Amino acid sequence: MTSLRLGGVLLAAAALLSTATATAAAEPGTSSVTLVVHAKAGTTDVARLQCEPAGGSHPDPDTACAELIAANGDFAELEGQQTMCTMELNPVTARANGVWDGETIDWQQEFSNPCVLIAATGSVFDF
């Protein structure tokens, strides 16, 4: 179990390092972010999202990019999804690092559980 947690942390660290390298060479109009969801229970999920054109390892880059474009790349302004969530306490931290339209992005927020994360951020962190 510990090796799985360590593996997830190492994967997230590698993803963030690759984002930092990409950020140094950012050009205006470039939009590429690494998305990380880390549960306090020990799991870490990572997805890469590239927009205009949509792509990366995110399972639905078209929808995620459309939601980010509507929010002008501001993760705090994502519209989210209307859904009913339980009051389960299962904290997750969402993080986005990279470049949006040539500007460096470094956003992080904790949510009480994965459902609340999706309700707040829509499909962007739904992977």
Which pLDDT tens digit goes with each residue over 40-78?
988 999 999 999 999 999 999 999 999 999 999 999 999
Domains defined for the chain, CATH in brackets? 2-121 (3.30.350.10)
Q: Give the pLDDT score at 73.
A: 95
Per-residue model confidence (pLDDT) at position 118: 96
The rounded distance, in Å, linking the Cα atoms of 108 and 85 is 21
- Check if the beta carbon of residue 10 is closer than 8 Å to that of residue 92: no
Please name which of 9, 34, 3, 22 lies closest in space to residue 108, comparing C-alpha atoms: 34
Q: Is the pLDDT of residue 2 over 50?
A: no
What is the DSSP-derived secondary structure letter of residue 68?
H
- Report how far residue 84's alpha carbon sits from residue 26's, in angstroms, rounded to the nearest whole number: 39
Q: What is the DSSP string of 12-45?
A: HHHHHHHHHHHHHT--TT-EEEEEEEEETTS-EE
Percent of the chain predicted with pLDDT > 70: 78
